[in-house]
Amino acid sequence: MEAAAVQKNSNREEKFMKNAKNVFIVLLAVLLIFSVTACSSTDTDPQQDTTVDATGDAVQSENTSEDTQENKPAFGEDTSITANLTTWTWDTGGVDLEMSVIQKKYPGIKMEYAVVSSDDYLKKVQTTVASGEKLPDIINADGYWRGKLYNMGILERLDAEPYNLDRSTIFDYALPYMVTEKDEVVGVVKPGSPAGLAYSADLAEKYLGTSDPEELEKMMPDWESFINVGKDVLQKSNGSVKMIAGYDDLYQIIGYQNANPYIIGNKLNLEKSVGPAIQKMIEMRDAGIIGNLAMWSSSWHASYTNSSVLFYPCATWSIRWQLQVNDEAGDMNWRLMVPPEGGFNWGGGAGCITRDSENKEAAWIVLREAGLSTECAVEYMNKLQWFSILKEAYDDPRLSSYKYDYLGGQDIVNFYVNTIPDTIKNRTCTSDDAAIEAAVALVRTDMLTDNSITYESALKKIAEELKLTIQGVTD
């Protein structure tokens, strides 16, 4: 009996152990399945949310954080962006025109501006920075002080992330007016200001025998031939007609047909930079073919209608603000030509984004659309006869031609876009430009009353003045 009981118990123990083993295997299999399911990359992303649909089945929601990033518009392309931008400007009409175009695509961008004259602009920027106050989102640069503002270290670089301005899309003549001394783009010129010569067709016919621009360009391809033609005009007019109004006008042309830097290292480079213009000023004075009128003086304004001057420097903006203002009755009597030895740049205000700005994306949209869009280019042309610096804008049929009645039907797109730009040579703006212009202006003013000034004495005076105003500069 005892052996039978032991055998029975042994059988029970074997059966128990076998069942226990089977249970263990089943539990292990369940654990393995759960582990594989939890780790599978083809199943639920732990960042995703799970909801339940109406049938009670689990429904996986989209990964909204990744999707939002993928669908987010690129920098500067969000048409739903909202911002209240600020700027200082001397050209409220230009700002209003630009914003009227921009807000059609970006209605949430608003612009508040304070009027600051160009003469006071740099000083206001400098005092604001010195006091630690905040600058507007967008500030503007122009004139001879442009380089000083560009190199203050207060502006965003626009040819780098996130703006990525593409230099190749812009006319070459404009780029030197957009970069710092380190060749970093910090401004967008809007609009461009290529310049040539304007002349009275009546006077040209009378004294030169033709008013055709191409014929005149062949007649005067360089400044030596210009001087020789001027001597003939002086003789034919009994001394009453000058080729150009004065030294300011001539320097505005020849002085900016030159890409040579004013200073190399800390050494003045006057003979190559300002010297050619000074030389021609003296030659024309001695030949008697240049007037004695200071630019913007009352007598200079009057010369547009008193038949005393043949040629004037003429940028894109000059048609409206010089020719038409000074000669309202001169409709059909003015023409444009390429100057001897090529065109030049005159003006072209640029918009800049300040590092202070808390609305940099919206500010970039405004600069890009104002200066680098076809729609603003069309509006510039139709309303103000201004010219965009964006090359591809002129592929648009609306900008293929613009025949200007005031200029006898001359096509100003052909002149300012297809003809002049390739002839322009520009130097990069520097922090010293204003000081150099002021020194040269002193000589031009002296020449109005002192005929004894020579090339050598003029350069000497300019150098002496610059050594006083630019620290560390030498001859």
User: For 49-70, how does the pLDDT look when each residue is reduced to its tens digit (9 = 90+)?
Assistant: 333 333 334 344 444 444 455 6
Label residue 71 by pLDDT band (50, 70, 90). confident
The answer to whether the CB of 139 falls within 8 A of the CB of 128 is no
% of the chain exceeding 70 in pLDDT: 85
pLDDT at 157 over 60: yes
Q: Which of 20-34, 99-113, 166-180, 298-312 shows the lowest per-residue confidence on average (mean pLDDT)? A: 20-34
Q: What is the pLDDT of residues 318-337, one digit of tens each?
A: 999 999 999 999 889 999 99
Tokens 């199943």: give the residue: 43
| Angle made by CA atoms 347, 402, 387, in degrees to the nearest 5 | 25
| Residue of 356, 430, 366 lying closest to 156 (CA atoms) | 356
Model pTM score: 0.84
> What residues are paired with 312 via a beta bridge?
198
Task: Look up residue 63 and give its amino acid.
Answer: N
How many whole angstroms separate alpha carbon 209 and alpha carbon 221?
17
In this prediction, residue 69 carries a pLDDT of: 56
Higher-confidence residue of 358 and 66: namely: 358
pLDDT of residue 219: 98
Burial status of residue 152 (CB atoms within 10 A of its CB: 0-12, 13-18, 19 or more): middle
Q: How far apart are CA 203 and CA 211, in angstroms?
A: 8
> CA Rg, the chain, in Å?
36
The Cα–Cα gap between 409 and 224 comes to 30
Evaluate if residue 203 carries a pLDDT over 60: yes
pLDDT of residue 62: 44
Q: How many CB atoms lie within 10 A of CB 273?
A: 20
Structure tokens at 76: 């500067």
Residue 16 pLDDT exceeds 60: no
- Residue 22 confidence class, pLDDT cut points 50, 70, 90: very low
**Which of 3-7, 14-18, 210-214 shows the lowest per-residue confidence on average (mean pLDDT)?**
3-7
Using 50, 70 and 90 to split pLDDT, how confident is the model at 44? Answer: very low
Nearest in space to 270 (alpha carbons), one of 473, 407, 446? 473
Q: Of how many residues is the chain composed?
A: 475
Q: Quick one: CA dihedral 114, 115, 120, 121, positive or negative?
A: positive
CA distance 100 to 383: 12
- Which among 176, 211, 169 is positioned nearest to 193, based on CA atoms? 176
The tens digit of pLDDT for each residue in 384-425 reads: 999 999 999 999 999 999 999 999 999 999 999 999 999 999
Summarised one tens digit per residue, pLDDT across range 99-121 is 999 999 999 999 999 999 999 99
* Mean per-residue pLDDT over the chain, rounded: 88
